[in-house]
A = this chain, B = another copy of it.
Amino acid sequence: MTVRVPVEELQRFVTAVFTRAGLSEEDAAISAEILLAADVRGFDSHGIARLDYYVHRLEAGAINLRPNFRAVAETPATVAFDADNGMGFSSAYRAMRRCIEKAKEAGFCLATVRRSNHYGIAGYYATMALEEPGMIGVSMTNATPLVVPPFARDAFLSTAPIAFAVPAGKERPLVFDGATSTVAWGKIEIARRNRQPIPLGWALDVEGKPTTDPFAARYLTPLGAFPELRSHKGYALALLVEVLCGQLAGGVWAKYVGGSRSQTLGPSGTGHAFMAIRVDVFRPLEEFLADMDDMLGELRRARPAEGAERVLVPGDLEYETELDRRANGIPVHPEVLAKLQEIAARYELSLPV
């Protein structure tokens, strides 16, 4: 049975685990906060279920525990960081924090990060911008190759997520966080845990054929799923993310990003890109917020299609999930719980369940 665990207790546990695994207290706390933000928002694919993955990499020495995170090129509106193979969460957090500070000065900032690691959900960093009045945030990352270009036989690209967060006035903000593949790999992992088939078009088997069996799934399709439904567009968007996070950042591109369980445990070479846009260098903020309210309100109150209940704005489901989980705890699947118990035992920590 899936149990519910309070967010704060899981956060204390994960912080303790990351500290025992060698991270500084600050990096452990930042990493725990961001890892659990996935569960809090309902991205069960990217949260506590993957704690063992990060722990495994930390224990194996694949991540630099005391990195020299630094800017290697900088102008008022741009900055390129080198994460020195540090933990992805804290490297990305520092990059976005600085990106926002620079945008407060220059009106805009584009920041890249090279030689980082898996950074959890893209959306966390985008929503950091919402802590400032009138700031739009954008976050992207590359990752290990899983996505097969249209008409190709092998995986070359990562799920290359794009996340953005746009403030509104009275309405809740617009927040999107999604892979440019049809689905993220975590959705296959969830289907496996639940022993459920997946829709045709999400994934390809070892021979490159579409499959509905999550255990046969090996590769993912670009958004659009099939050439006829324009999967070349998802492919192109993945390439845009790749160029910003890989070539522009000065790192490697997805095909050469490492870090999955099955691969050699060296530095992953993951890259990220962030943008922060200060609205009031384009127009008065109050006007912008009122216009955002108009659009988001009209969409949220739109007439539903036959058989549908309501029209959503990106971020609405995550907002509702967050309310529920902060009040009632994060659901932990039995298979995930078993992994957590194993980690707790090894580190002589008590699991808050």
Q: Does A183 contact B (CB under 8 A)?
A: yes
Contacts A78-B282, A166-B243, A229-B199 hold; do A250 and B287 have CB atoms under 8 A apart? yes
A44-52, A83-91, A146-154 - the one binding chain B = A146-154
Q: Is the CB of B80 within 8 A of A178?
A: no
Looking at the assembled complex, report how far the CB atom of A286 sits from the nearest CB atom of chain B, in whole angstroms: 12
Q: Is the CB of B107 within 8 A of A311?
A: no
Q: Is the CB of B247 within 8 A of A229?
A: no
A28-36, A57-65, A297-305, A338-346 - the one binding chain B = A297-305
Looking at the assembled complex, report how far the CB atom of A196 sits from the nearest CB atom of chain B, in whole angstroms: 13
Question: CA A292 – CA B277 in complex, angstroms?
Answer: 27
Contact with B along A9-53 (1 / 0, CB 8 A): 000000000000000000000000000000000000000000000
Q: Is the CB of B75 within 8 A of A149?
A: no
A92-100, A234-242, A257-265, A321-329 - the one binding chain B = A234-242
Q: Is the CB of A281 within 8 A of B75?
A: yes
Contact with B along A242-260 (1 / 0, CB 8 A): 1100111110010100000
Q: Is the CB of A153 within 8 A of B304?
A: yes
Q: Is the CB of A78 within 8 A of B108?
A: yes
Looking at the assembled complex, report how far the CB atom of A342 sits from the nearest CB atom of chain B, in whole angstroms: 33
Q: Does A188 contact B (CB under 8 A)?
A: no
Q: Please, which residues of chain B bring their CB within 8 A of the CB of A112?
A: 282
Contacts A225-B224, A239-B176 hold; do A108 and B255 have CB atoms under 8 A apart? no
Q: Please, which residues of chain B bring their CB within 8 A of the CB of A239?
A: 174, 176, 313-314
Q: Does A115 contact B (CB under 8 A)?
A: no
Q: Please, which residues of chain B bring their CB within 8 A of the CB of A288?
A: 247-248, 250
Q: Does A201 contact B (CB under 8 A)?
A: yes
Q: Does A348 contact B (CB under 8 A)?
A: no
Q: Please, which residues of chain B bring their CB within 8 A of the CB of A179?
A: 233
Q: Is the CB of B73 within 8 A of A283?
A: yes
Q: Please, which residues of chain B bring their CB within 8 A of the CB of A225?
A: 224-225, 229
Closest to A221 in B: B229
Q: Does A69 contact B (CB under 8 A)?
A: no
9 A-B pairs within 8 Å (CB atoms) are namely A75-B106, A77-B77, A78-B281, A149-B302, A154-B302, A176-B233, A183-B230, A225-B225, A248-B279
Pairs of residues from A and B, 5 with the lowest C-beta to C-beta distance, nearest first: A77-B77, A176-B236, A151-B308, A250-B283, A236-B314
